[in-house]
Chain A
Amino acid sequence: MFNIQMTYNKNLFNLFVFIFIISSCSSMNVTEEVVYDGGISTVEASIQEDYPLEYETKAIFTNATVYFEFDKFNLNNKSLQTLKSAVAAMKNNPSIKITISGHADERGTREYNLALGQRRAEAVRDYFAVNGINSNRIIVKSFGEERPLSSGSDESSYAKNRRAEIN
């Protein structure tokens, strides 16, 4: 699943030496130390999406996105309108599967935002579920604040980034 390519970019010696000697000299103790020198290796991650989507899926759900308030994951009326047509498309095309990705704005901590993005994606999944769409047709995940749509640090950018994308 992961191809790892390694480059040894520093020294090939992997030395871990730690010596701490106290030897008494005429007036006082002398500390002796040996510099620790661990080597470092660089790894390159090869990218592989684990659930590639079929072409058909993408064509139907392009740009289905719903938005949220700061630190919230409840769906508003506008979101419900968007999701209604998505549910209809899912019912008309029983073979297709979707991925819902939740996102957050940059404010607050990255891990909390990852969890918040997940809650947003789950809120959308739950809407599909109560409207009769089987959850095994849906993959839910979060990118937290790591994939902003807009890079600005202002409320209008933040509002665009607090979203769940269906595709």
Chain B
Amino acid sequence: MAAPAAAVPAAAESSTDTAATVQLASQWRLIWWRFRKHKLALVSGVVVILVYLVAAFAEFLAPFSTDRMISNLAYAPPQRLRLIEQTDTGTRYGLYVYGYTAEVDMLSLQRTFGVDESQRIDLRLLAKSEPYKLWGLIPLQRHLIGPVDQSAPFYPLGADRLGRDLFSRIIYGTRISMTVGLVGVTLSLVLGVLLGGVSGYFGGTVDLLIQRVMEILRSMPTIPLWMGLAAAIPDFWSPVLVYFMITIILSVIGWTWLAQAVRGKFFSLKTEDFVIAAKLDGCSELQVILSHMVPSFMSHIIATLTLAIPQMIIAETALSFLGIGLRPPVVSWGVLLKEAQNVRVLVTSPWLFLPGAAVIVAVLAFNFLGDGIRDAADPYK
């Protein structure tokens, strides 16, 4: 490993750091200095944090619960949020939307919606509506935004097939979709570090065997394999159980990539001077691994993890989209996209694509963030 001094040009100009502070800086501090020069990765990191905040405060941010429906407003288009109103008596300020006019085509029985400017629906911040328990603990009644009159229609992103608010459903879906990635990656991490570590540290026959298993698993096309596994989940299982089964199924393949990264690192570090020195000093195998080797490749693992999460998100979305992943009443982005399967419906209500936009934003943010972390992972280079 090169001396820390090699990192001086990388970090010195970014602040008032002198060579001395760079020399004394810890590995993580050097990583941070390098990471923050990646503007795109930095912005993406903020986006990821925001998305997880949405997931954490879903009940508060969503105006309605996921199953509140107004059935005669099925497929109602998004309303435009308005601030200024010109009336005969002057200009009024305040958040409001217009209601809907509905016309039913007697031939196709299809409803076409228009804007009803005579019907003004006032909105307010911290509106009182359906009571809920934040994180199942704190009883609250206020939502970030909502109509003053609880029963009034308010569809900032349109309504779905049953007249449910897509905006609220996407917010609740964030919670499921974003945590599936986290839980799945955690499972893959445990398996990957364990098997990859064993493979890389001991080598020999064990290594050969684990390598073959990984190769075989990876040569299987993932979607058909996942489909086969997911279809075996019984219908009568509770949503929570199904959720965990899905994450386990997703990690069946996911762990191989992590294991490969860990194995590679073990191989390259095994012969490093500091590892041999630790062994000569009489450290036990476990101690060598945990306190000498793992810290030196931790940052790489984090980068690999960050890049694995979007894959899991896409996988869950795909499975739920096919109808064999998570199932209603659970709301995830994939479950929402299942409603967008019919092109004819999409043409009349294109806002049903919006959960897909949420997927794309989340996946892009994770990819950029992961790329940034990977580039910064080895600050001594």
Q: Is the A/B pair a real complex?
A: no
Query: Residues of A at under 8 Å CB distance from B?
Result: none
